[in-house]
Amino acid sequence: MEEPPISRGFRSKRQEQGLTNRIPPGQYVTTDFPVLSAGPTPQIRLEEWTFGLHLNGLQLGKWTWAEFHALPQTTIKTDIHCVTKWSKLDTVWQGVTFDDLLAAAAVKEPPALYAMTHSDGGYTTNVPVADLVGGKGMIATRYDGAPISPAHGGPARLLVPHLYFWKSAKWVRRLRFMEEDEHGFWESFGYHNHGDPWKEQRYDGD
């Protein structure tokens, strides 16, 4: 049998946009910015806001809003991928990287392999420390040149864009280093423990 002719003119929309290598499997691109929250948006007064790093009940570092803004600020442009299948390209965030936070706390080496983030409202998510350091994670306070809106996690959210977006905890207040891994909120409801979009690690067992 003859091979069907290959349509040489064919290029998918993704190829046209040069996106073939940017969209993880099963994702589609949206230009909106959907809001996904498991509960109400907490109201946080900046005068009361602090961010803390903890290990075994010990506080390694704590910053007020003003102190946090005196730390080196980094701006990144990155794609984000939600487990509900939307991806948003070229989002721009400003904040303090974990590398800079650890340096500010005079912590030379990450003190444990695992971390749990704690947010106002009670949300938690666990992330391996290796996914936060080396420029991979930050505490972001600005999105698209303006303060992050409350619905999107303002005043400050975790940003770990190479993992599914549920790992990017909104309204984050505390990160606790852990010797042993524990499940956060969605992880204990069957979401994948790691959440790498390129491996389609959506649910436990993927």
Ligand X SMILES: Nc1nc2c(c(=O)[nH]1)N[C@H]1C(S)=C(S)[C@@H](COP(=O)(O)O)O[C@H]1N2
By the criterion CB under 6 A, which residues form the site for ligand X? 34-38, 82, 119, 121, 123, 152-153, 165-166, 168-171
Token readout for 104 is: 């500010």
Site for Mo ion, residues 127 to 166, rule: CB under 5 A: 166
Nearer of residues 54 and 157 to ligand X, judged by Cβ = 157
Minimum gap (Å) between residue 117 Cβ and ligand X: 9
Nearer of residues 22 and 174 to ligand X, judged by Cβ = 174
Nearer of residues 37 and 74 to ligand X, judged by Cβ = 37
Minimum gap (Å) between residue 99 Cβ and ligand X: 22
Q: Do residues 97 and 140 touch, judged by C-beta distance below 8 A?
A: no
Q: Do residues 66 and 49 touch, judged by C-beta distance below 8 A?
A: no
Site track 21-40 with Mo ion (rule: CB under 5 A), x = hit = ---------------x----
Minimum gap (Å) between residue 166 Cβ and ligand X: 3
Site for Mo ion, residues 51 to 70, rule: CB under 5 A: none
CA distances from 30 to 33, 57, 81, 91 (A): 8, 41, 10, 12
Asked whether position 93 contacts Mo ion by CB under 5 A, the answer is: no
Q: Do residues 182 and 114 touch, judged by C-beta distance below 8 A?
A: yes
193: left (phi over 0), alpha (psi -120 to 50) or beta: alpha
CA distances from 141 to 16, 41, 45, 77, 97 (A): 34, 16, 14, 14, 11
Nearer of residues 87 and 168 to ligand X, judged by Cβ = 168
Minimum gap (Å) between residue 36 Cβ and Mo ion: 5
Minimum gap (Å) between residue 143 Cβ and ligand X: 8
Partner from Mo ion, ligand X, none contacting 152, C-beta within 5 to 8 A by type = ligand X
CA distances from 110 to 71, 102, 133, 134, 195 (A): 18, 8, 8, 11, 21
d(CA 9, CA 83): 33
Which residues of the chain form contacts with Mo ion (CB under 5 A)? 36, 82-83, 166
